Amino acid sequence: MNAPLLKVEKLAKRFGGIVATDDLSLEVGTGDLHAIIGPNGAGKTTLIAQLSGQLRPDTGHIRFDGRDITALPMYKRNRRGLARSFQITSLFLDLSVLDNVALAVQAHAGHSFRFWGNARRDAALREPARAALEQVGLIDRADRPAAALSHGEHRLLELAMALAGKPRMLLLDEPMAGLGPEESSRMVDMLRALKAKFTILLVEHDMEAVFALADRITVLVYGRVIASGAPDDIRANEQVREAYLGDAEEGVVS
Amino acid sequence: MMPALTVRNIVVAVLLVALALLPLYAQLAHDRFLLTLFTRIVILAMAAVSLNLILGFGGMMSFGHAAYLGIGGYAVGMLAHEHVYSGFVQWPVALGASALFALVIGALSLRTRGVYFIMITLAFAQMAYYVVSGIARYGGDDGLTIYKRSQFVAPLDLSNKTQFYYVCLVLLFGAIYLVWRLINSRFGLALQGIRSNELRMRAIGFPTYRYRLTAFVIAGTLCGLAGALLANHTDFVSPAMMYWTRSGDLIIMVVLGGMGSAIGPVIGAVALLVLEETLSGITEYWQIILGPLLLLVVLFARGGIDGLLMKVGRRQDDEVRS
């Protein structure tokens, strides 16, 4: 593993009596694609929410690039280069596709207390946004309202927005959720291309995709890490098979 | 860039030209009342335009926007009462006081969402209403008569009704232009992003609170200017200026005219007040007619009158193409 870019130390989060994250430690090496898998309710999305700053952990620390970001609000983490894509499509549906991505660019182009110039004609925002749309293959949809796109296209737009901020690390929360087989394989190709440029933490149910893409895999069950290692180690891990892969394989095979 | 020749743009152009030529018509027709009515419409349109910045483009359902009408108005009224007549003092004070009020109530209320935001803005406006009602020195409940309109330099004389109308109209056009520039700027796009999906805006790196607050203060300040105009128009201020039903009227103008555009609230203000004037001439129960009309707009014309006009234009385009 490369030097860690993201380091999670003894993270814990409870909701009332439910332990969503339980003494969780994790390291993601620079340039790695690190996948998090686990059955439903394992606390994967809760973990992403804490990493991105949407939720505050009860105890524990999150370090990004050597600095403690545990107390930083979401927008500051994002500015440091930690970008999140959402599991449930979370877009600006009433704005155009290009506007969506341009806003992501704008977020990183200094403050937005600029009241006069027309932002829709601002090449400094529009060009990088177009480039990101080009990258995910949505450029011909640029002027459509985001609401008019298909579900698969929404997922790609999500990705374009995360890319537009020129992040150092992507937190991808089930980018394949709800995609058809064809769209899925398009997304896997996309992720493979992105893997070369970014450090990625991937939460995903699609086992085939995870084992095809991941450098390292961490398995969560009830908010706790039960195994972490290279894909082959995980596949061979007895505990993982018992707790998780058994169920999942049924799902994958059927 | 030349605006396209759509039905909607023609209607808007006709409306603006009609507003510009109105004093001429009023003079020819010897209709003094028409000018008074439209001065009022122009002023309230400006208040609606300011509300639209936060309601239409920021998604902030402020139910206390009339408070700024009152604050701007009372700034003029109180200063006049203390024999300070200069508009160069009165108007900046009106703007400053409105901005300050907006900053304080915005800073508190923008921490809430949805119904709570509506309630808290309403509560603050009602507080302002009762505070003003209680100040005996400035007339309390009975209000305060203004004996001299704001004084500016020589040829400008606000007591001249035609001149005053044009001052209001120029300021309205200025307000529309300001809002139009704002909504297309980086700030405006950020604001619309927040309206659309605030969580996502934070996730991609926007400190959303300060943008919403800034919009809230700009809108309040602009409405304070409308309040200063309204006080000059009626030569009188009273707590009723900021009563919650007035805030409701402003919301109706915005929704009726169309939240999606900078010009929509002007259409809404003209439509609502002309309708009110005409209908109340027919029957004193004119609201029975207005209510269902509003219902129809909300149910079938989501973008208000302006949205409806745009749709008509689009349908025509399609026919031409086919």
Instruction: Return d(Cα A153, Cα A161) in angstroms, integer.
Output: 12
Confidence at residue B2, expressed as pLDDT on a 0 to 100 scale: 59
Q: How far is CA A5 from CA A21, A80, A230, in A?
A: 21, 12, 18
pLDDT at A245 over 80: no
| A4-15 and A18-29 strand pairing | antiparallel
Q: Would residue B172 count as lying in a domain?
A: yes
Residues A69 and A118 in one domain: no
Interface residues from chain A to B (CB-CB < 8 Å): 52, 54, 73-76, 78-79, 83-84, 86, 90-95, 99, 102-104, 106-108, 112-120, 122, 125, 161, 165
What percentage of chain B has pLDDT greater than the value 70?
96
Flag whether A31 is in a domain. yes
* pLDDT, tens digit, 9 for 90 and up, residues A99-109: 999 999 998 88
* Closest among B48, B37, B32, B20 to B280, alpha carbons compared: B37
The predicted pLDDT at position B11 comes to 92
Q: How close, in Å, is residue B166 to chain A by CA atoms?
A: 25
- Is B241 an 8 Å CB contact of chain A? no
Instruction: Give residue-wise pLDDT tens across range B256-308.
Output: 999 988 999 999 999 999 999 999 888 888 888 888 988 888 888 888 999 88
Q: Are residues A216 and A161 both part of a single domain?
A: no
Both tokens assigned to A31: 């340039």
* Segments in B185-237 forming alpha helices (H): 186-196, 198-203, 208-234
Residue A215 located in a structural domain:
yes
pLDDT in tens, B123-168: 999 999 999 999 999 999 999 999 999 999 988 999 999 999 999 9
**CB-based contact, B193 to chain A, within 8 Å:** yes
Residue B168 covered by a domain? yes
Give percent of chain B with pLDDT exceeding 90. 79
> Given A74, A108, A125, which is nearest B202 (Cβ)?
A74
Total CB pairs under 8 A between chain A and B: 96
Q: Is residue A28, in this structure, part of any structural domain at all?
A: yes
Chain A residues with CB-CB distance to B186 below 8 A:
106, 112, 114, 117, 119, 122, 125
Instruction: Compute the distance between CA of residue A164 and CA of residue A167 in angstroms, rounded to an integer.
Output: 8
How far is A187 from A166, CA to CA, in rounded Å? 19
Give per-residue pLDDT as tens, B163-188: 999 999 999 999 999 999 999 999 99
Distance CA A247, CA B234 (A): 76
Residues A149 and A24 in one domain: no
Q: Is the pLDDT of residue B47 over 60?
A: yes
CA B162, B167, B168, B169: dihedral to nearest 10 degrees?
Answer: 90
- On whether both A62 and A113 belong to a single domain, the answer is no
* Shared domain check, A179 and A67: yes
In which domain, by residue range, is B17 found?
7-321
pLDDT value for B284: 85
Task: Quote the mean pLDDT of chain B.
Answer: 92
What residues of chain A lie within 8 A of the CB of B190, using their CB? 103, 106, 112
Could you say which of B182, B188, B204 has the minimum Cβ distance to residue A107? B204
Q: Which of A149, A166, A183 is the last residue of a domain?
A: A166
Rounded distance between C-alpha atoms, residue A121 and residue B14, angstroms: 28
The pTM of this model reads 0.85
Same domain, yes or no, for A5 and A102? no
Q: What is the pLDDT of residues A192-241, one digit of tens each?
A: 988 988 999 999 988 889 999 999 999 998 899 999 999 999 988 888 88
Considering A166, A192, A221, which residue would you say is the last residue of a domain?
Answer: A166
Give residues with Cβ within 8 angstroms of A74, minimum separation 6: A52, A53, A54, B202, B203, B205
Range of the structural domain that residue A40 is part of: 1-81+167-254
φ and ψ at residue B67, rounded to 5 degrees? -55, -35
Domain stop point among A166, A200, A229: A166
- A223, part of any domain: yes
Same domain, A203 and A240: yes
Least confident of A78-87, A138-147, B53-62: A78-87
Q: Can you give the pLDDT at residue A75?
A: 84
Chain B interface test: which of A51, A56, A74 (most B C-beta within 10 Å): A74
Whether B314 contacts chain A with CB within 8 A: no
Residue A88 in any domain: the answer is: no
CATH of the domain at A23: 3.40.50.300
In a domain, A125, yes or no: yes
**Residue A246 pLDDT level (bands cut at 50, 70, 90):** low
Q: How many domains does chain B have?
A: 1
Report if residue A86 sits inside a domain. Answer: no
CATH at residue B219: 1.10.3470
ipTM of the complex: 0.86
**Pair A70, A135 in one domain:** no
pLDDT tier, B322 (very low <50, low <70, confident <90, very high otherwise): very low
| CA-based nearest residue to B220, from B97, B85, B37 | B97
The reply to whether A89 falls in a domain is no
> Chain A contacts of B185, Cβ < 8 Å?
114-119
Phi, psi of A39 (to 5 degrees): -65, 170
- pLDDT value of position B23: 95
How close B194 gets to chain A, by Cα (Å)? 9
User: Is A75–B205 a contact, with Cβ atoms under 8 angstroms apart?
Assistant: yes
Is residue A144 domain-shared with residue A29, that is, in the same domain? no
Q: How far is CA B15 from CA B21, B226, B238, B248, B272, in A?
A: 10, 20, 31, 24, 14
B110 secondary structure, DSSP code: T
**Which residue of chain A has the CA closest to B194?**
A92
> pLDDT grade, residue B320 (50/70/90)?
very low
Q: Is residue B1 part of a domain?
A: no
Q: Which candidate in A92, A96, A101, A166 is best for mutational testing of the B interface (most B CBs within 10 A)?
A: A92
pLDDT tens digits along B208-242: 999 999 999 999 999 999 999 999 999 999 999 99
pLDDT per residue over B15-41, tens digit each? 999 999 999 999 999 988 999 999 999
Strand (E) or helix (H) holding B184 = helix B161-184
What domain count does chain A have?
A: 2
Whether residue A186 sits in one domain with residue A253: yes
Residue at B225 is within a domain: yes
Cα(B92)–Cα(B99) distance, integer angstroms: 10
> Inter-chain contact B203–A84, Cβ cutoff 8 Å?
yes
Instruction: Look at residue A251 and tell me whether its pLDDT is greater than 50.
Output: no
Residues A202 and A234 in one domain: yes
